[in-house]
């Protein structure tokens, strides 16, 4: 075989090798999309073993590792792919998505801007940048880039959904309504679009329209727990539930988990600090207490309760909220369970039960207080917040879906459960639509002498 023949043979061999790698990559991507992550990872790694500088394999393996919770390794691989191919826009965009999911919004925005510097009309990157900008509170630029995204992709219902969110956060409710309506017109049934459209009409005091949207929503999804609960709250029709359903709580807060802390900060949310202050009036720090954070959510109370705790347990119905709480590395145990059922199982288990803005999803409080007494050790306390009802004897389900309670009702049910009411303080829990939400900060004691 002469030199020319050898070169031709080598060229043909390389061609077959590349075709083989292409088939492996295609298979890996299909496995990845179908959720077969272990098999996909093995294929990506096989490609990188044969060709360490393969940008696609590095990029997709990086995404997969992020999905598996190995974000730092995933980011490193995607950055390697970008070192090899700096104009790899999909990798830049996905790196931005990873940073966005991790809450590193500035890093996310920087990556989306790099994409747009290369391709100013990359609609997906415009949309993603708009979402990050609104989460950063930069509503004017968010609306500008999201409008451009919808112009470039006028059939993308998600883009209009995000535009509606930006207008709502900016306070332009009329434009928000139009954007949500356009999203629904493009994709007739979307739970989030109906929920956001309902909320926008509610904030705009368009109550009849809000109710009409809820009915339309239920025509598509008759058993939707959020729509059912909200319709009863808005209209008072049917039987008023004694508490929000487990499904309502789970679905509402699973969706809310990723933005919960940021949203509440913007609402000047005070409940964790309020209950912590009440606890400090009862106990000295560095106590060996068994503490239950009842309805712990993302764990905002956790760092405030830890100094009092020998053991600190958090309980919530939303697993995604619990996942956020776990990231704080504060709790000894985190449990997904319904609160009253859980308390009934644990007799004389806790010195302190704290509940910040969880009982606002209960109307009838008697089951909670009976269960709380069962779970308290003698001399133990329960500290919690409620929303204040100005008129009425017992409790009321309000238009926003939460319950408020009268002071007289509170005193009755606490005493009936065999607890001693130590203090009821009127407080401001947070702001809603710019107005303070009034509530009660309550401390009760399990006094064995009683």
Domains delineated in the chain: 3-167 (1.25.40.10), 255-445 (3.40.50.150)
**Predicted local distance difference test score (pLDDT) of residue 2:** 47
**Is the separation of the CB atoms in 96 and 64 below 8 Å?**
no
CA 166 to chain centre: 17
Cα end-to-end distance, the chain, whole Å: 103
User: Which of the 8 DSSP states describes residue 258?
Assistant: G
Q: In this structure, how many other beta carbons lie within 10 angstroms of the beta carbon of residue 30?
A: 13
Reported residue count of the chain is: 450
pLDDT tens, residue order, the chain (450 aa): 444 544 443 344 344 444 457 888 888 899 899 988 999 889 889 988 989 999 999 999 999 999 998 999 999 999 999 999 999 999 999 999 999 988 899 999 999 999 999 999 999 999 999 999 998 989 999 999 999 999 999 999 999 999 999 999 898 999 999 999 999 999 988 888 899 999 899 888 888 999 999 999 999 899 999 999 999 999 988 778 999 999 999 999 998 887 788 778 877 888 999 999 999 999 987 789 999 999 999 999 999 999 999 999 999 999 999 999 999 999 999 999 999 999 999 999 999 999 999 999 999 999 999 999 999 999 999 999 999 998 778 999 998 899 999 999 999 999 999 999 999 999 999 988 778 999 999 999 988 655
**Predicted local distance difference test score (pLDDT) of residue 18:** 45
**Is the separation of the CB atoms in 61 and 44 below 8 Å?**
yes
**Predicted local distance difference test score (pLDDT) of residue 449:** 57
Q: In this structure, how many other beta carbons lie within 10 angstroms of the beta carbon of residue 119?
A: 14
Condensed to tens digits (0 to 9), the pLDDT of residues 73-104 reads 999 999 999 999 999 999 999 999 999 988 89
**Predicted local distance difference test score (pLDDT) of residue 13:** 39
**Predicted local distance difference test score (pLDDT) of residue 257:** 84
**Predicted local distance difference test score (pLDDT) of residue 11:** 41
Rg (CA), the chain: 27
Beta strands in 288-394 (DSSP E): 289-294, 309-316, 333-336, 350-355, 376-387
291 phi, psi to nearest 5 deg:
-120, 135
Residue 82, both tokens: 């970008």
**Predicted local distance difference test score (pLDDT) of residue 448:** 67
404 phi, psi to nearest 5 deg:
-120, 155
Calculate the alpha carbon distances from 85 to 24, 29, 59, 82 in Å: 20, 19, 11, 5
């Amino acid at each position: 075989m002469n030199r020319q023949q050898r070169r031709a043979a080598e060229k043909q061999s390389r061609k077959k090798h590349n075709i083989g790698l292409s088939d492996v990559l295609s298979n890996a991507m299909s496995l990845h999309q179908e959720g077969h992550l272990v098999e996909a990872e093995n294929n990506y790694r096989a490609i990188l073993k044969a060709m360490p500088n393969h940008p696609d394999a590095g990029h997709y393996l990086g995404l997969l590792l992020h999905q598996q919770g190995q974000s730092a390794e995933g980011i490193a691989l995607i950055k390697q792919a970008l070192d090899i191919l700096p104009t790899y826009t999909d990798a830049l965009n996905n790196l931005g998505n990873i940073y966005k999911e991790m809450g590193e919004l500035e890093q996310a925005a920087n990556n989306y801007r790099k994409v747009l510097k290369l391709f100013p009309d990359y609609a997906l990157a415009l949309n993603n940048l708009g979402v990050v900008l609104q989460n950063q509170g930069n509503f004017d630029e968010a609306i500008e880039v999201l409008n451009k995204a919808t112009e470039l992709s006028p059939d993308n219902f998600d883009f209009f959904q995000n535009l509606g969110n930006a207008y709502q956060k900016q306070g332009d409710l009329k434009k928000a309504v139009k954007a949500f309506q356009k999203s629904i017109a493009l994709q007739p049934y979307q739970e989030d679009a109906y929920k956001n459209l309902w909320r926008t009409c509610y904030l705009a005091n368009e109550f009849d329209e809000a109710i009409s949207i809820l009915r339309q929503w239920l025509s598509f999804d008759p058993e939707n727990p959020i729509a059912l609960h909200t319709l009863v709250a808005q209209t008072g029709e049917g039987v008023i539930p004694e508490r929000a359903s487990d499904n309502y709580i789970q679905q509402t807060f699973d969706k809310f988990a990723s933005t919960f802390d940021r949203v509440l900060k913007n609402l000047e949310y005070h409940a964790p600090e309020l209950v912590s202050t009440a606890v400090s009036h009862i106990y000295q720090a560095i106590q060996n207490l068994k503490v239950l954070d009842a309805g712990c959510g993302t764990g905002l109370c956790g760092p405030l309760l830890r100094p009092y705790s020998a053991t600190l347990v958090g309980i919530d119905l939303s697993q995604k909220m619990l996942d956020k709480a776990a990231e704080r590395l504060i709790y000894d145990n985190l449990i997904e369970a319904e609160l009253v059922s859980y308390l009934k199982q644990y007799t004389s288990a806790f010195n302190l039960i704290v509940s910040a803005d969880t009982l606002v999803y209960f109307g009838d409080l008697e089951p909670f207080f009976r269960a709380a007494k069962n779970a308290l050790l003698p001399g133990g306390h329960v500290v919690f917040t409620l929303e204040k009802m100005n008129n009425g004897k017992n409790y009321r389900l309000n238009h926003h879906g939460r319950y408020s309670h009268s002071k007289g009702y509170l005193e009755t049910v606490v005493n009936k459960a065999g607890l001693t009411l130590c203090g009821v303080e009127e407080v401001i829990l947070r702001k809603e639509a710019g107005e303070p939400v009034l509530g009660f900060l309550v401390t009760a004691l399990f006094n064995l002498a009683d």
